Amino acid sequence: MAVNQSKGRNLRVATELNELRQARCQLANPLGLVPTMGFLHLGHLSLVEAARRENASVAVSIFVNPTQFGPQEDLATYPRDLPRDLNLLEKAGVDLVWTPTPEIMYPEGYQTWVTVERISQPLEGAMRPGHFRGVATVVAKLFNALQPQKAYFGQKDAQQAAVIRRMALDLNFPLDIVICPTVREADGLAMSSRNAYLNHEQRRAAAVLYRSLQQAQALYDSGERNAEALRRVMRQIIEAEPLAKLQYVSCADLLSLQELEGEISGQALLSMAVFIGKTRLIDNLILE
Ligand code: AMP
């Protein structure tokens, strides 16, 4: 299928793997890949823009990957709007979109998994068992199917970026992983497809994640180097918001993601997961 030939641009949409491979062969190198779960927002589009700038062609995958969702998570309700997504991607100058189905990605008899060990274990990995196994597996499959020279991920999902980087290095994928900054709403809330779940009051309350990160950053800038003191200020600010329920706050070593105790010396990652109603939001900030 091809949409919009009128502008001279040709966004190709492939679903089946053989269609995808055929379309891939016709794309100029270097190819930049942006993996997504769709319901696109300006965060996704910033990755597309970076890919557009740095490559001869750009491919985007849209796949709500069932294997990275836990049994109690929001796979069934995850927001989807493919026509809108395709329209946005066409305008953004994307060449190829892959929209596989779960049956194409995981056909009957499927039994091969990618497990990235230590870096997958803390933080999101501890709260969402199996999540990064699903992520690493699907991203490895995307890399194999599309053979990009560069792949683009958001700092919004800091641990995911670290897991993918590690996997690409460990499995000798011949590509560069590019991490792009988090795109935020005016009040600081990190853009996320899941923000669509929030009602008006919850949307207002959700700004507390970034506010708490900023307060911890301010404390750090004023000279505080104790990791627990930074966690404490984030905890206090989140607990003061009645609609927010804290799952975890972390001040971890940026490379290993191991929780820091005592004084921070190198680079640290502040991160958190917070429930606003039933919606689970994450955010993070790097302390330089
Ligand atoms: P998702 O569709 O949520 O799986 O996200 C697809 C990619 O977009 C991932 O690499 C995310 O880290 C990235 N992304 C999601 N939200 C943002 C954001 N607000 N700013 C930058 N990148 C983002």
- Confidence (pTM): 0.97
Alpha helices in 55-157 (DSSP H): 82-91, 102-105, 123-127, 131-146
Is 270 in a helix, a strand, or coil? strand
Q: Say if 85 falls within a structural domain.
A: yes
* Nearest in space to 194 (alpha carbons), one of 207, 204, 203: 203
Q: Say if 185 falls within a structural domain.
A: no
Distance between CA atoms of residues 8 and 93, nearest Å = 11
Is 282 in a helix, a strand, or coil? strand
Q: Whose CA is nearest to atom 22 of ligand 1?
A: 154
Integer angstrom CA distances of residue 138 from 102, 104, 115, 164, 192: 11, 12, 11, 11, 20
Final residue of a structural domain among 180, 213, 239: 180
The predicted structure's pLDDT at residue 4: 44
Is any ligand 1 atom within 6 A of the Cβ of residue 180? yes
Q: Say if 244 falls within a structural domain.
A: yes
Integer angstrom CA distances of residue 185 from 80, 109, 200: 20, 43, 14
- The CATH number that applies at residue 97 is 3.40.50.620
* Nearest in space to 83 (alpha carbons), one of 185, 179, 3: 3
Q: Is residue 175 located within the same domain as residue 261?
A: no
The predicted structure's pLDDT at residue 113: 99
Q: How many domains does the chain have?
A: 2
Phi and psi based region of residue 123 (left: phi greater than 0; alpha: psi -120 to 50; beta: remaining)? left
Is 194 in a helix, a strand, or coil? helix
Is any ligand 1 atom within 6 A of the Cβ of residue 250? no
The predicted structure's pLDDT at residue 288: 85
- The CATH number that applies at residue 257 is 3.30.1300.10
Note down pLDDT in tens along the chain; length 288 residues. 555 444 446 899 999 999 999 999 999 999 999 999 999 999 999 999 999 999 999 999 999 999 999 999 999 999 999 999 999 999 999 999 999 999 999 999 999 999 999 999 999 999 999 999 999 999 999 999 999 999 999 999 999 999 999 999 999 999 999 999 999 999 999 999 999 999 999 999 999 999 999 999 999 999 999 999 999 999 999 999 999 999 999 999 999 999 999 999 999 999 999 999 999 999 999 998
How many whole angstroms from 188 Cα to the centroid of ligand 1? 15
The DSSP symbol for 118 reads G
Quote the Cα angle for 225-241-277, to 5°. Answer: 120
Per the structure, the complete domain to which residue 89 belongs is given by 2-180
Q: Say if 201 falls within a structural domain.
A: yes
Q: Is residue 92 located within the same domain as residue 140?
A: yes
Is any ligand 1 atom within 6 A of the Cβ of residue 46? yes
The predicted structure's pLDDT at residue 8: 45
Which atom belonging to ligand 1 lies closest to the Cα atom of 191? Answer: 19
Q: Say if 160 falls within a structural domain.
A: yes
The predicted structure's pLDDT at residue 7: 47
Burial of residue 267, with CB atoms counted within 10 A of its CB: 0-12 exposed, 13-18 middle, 19 or more buried: exposed
Are 115 and 29 in contact by the 8 Å Cβ rule? The answer is: no
Q: Is residue 90 located within the same domain as residue 157?
A: yes
Residue type, 76: A
Q: Is residue 215 located within the same domain as residue 261?
A: yes
Q: Is residue 124 located within the same domain as residue 260?
A: no
Residue type, 15: T
Phi, psi of 174 (to 5 degrees): -85, 65
Is any ligand 1 atom within 6 A of the Cβ of residue 190? yes
How many whole angstroms from 275 Cα to the centroid of ligand 1? 18
Q: Say if 58 falls within a structural domain.
A: yes
Q: Whose CA is nearest to atom 14 of ligand 1?
A: 154
Are 193 and 37 in contact by the 8 Å Cβ rule? The answer is: yes
Residue with the two structure tokens 């641990």: 159
Final residue of a structural domain among 121, 153, 180: 180
Tokens of 144: 């194999």
Q: Is residue 38 located within the same domain as residue 99?
A: yes
Would you please indicate which residues are annotated as catalytic (active-site) residues? 44
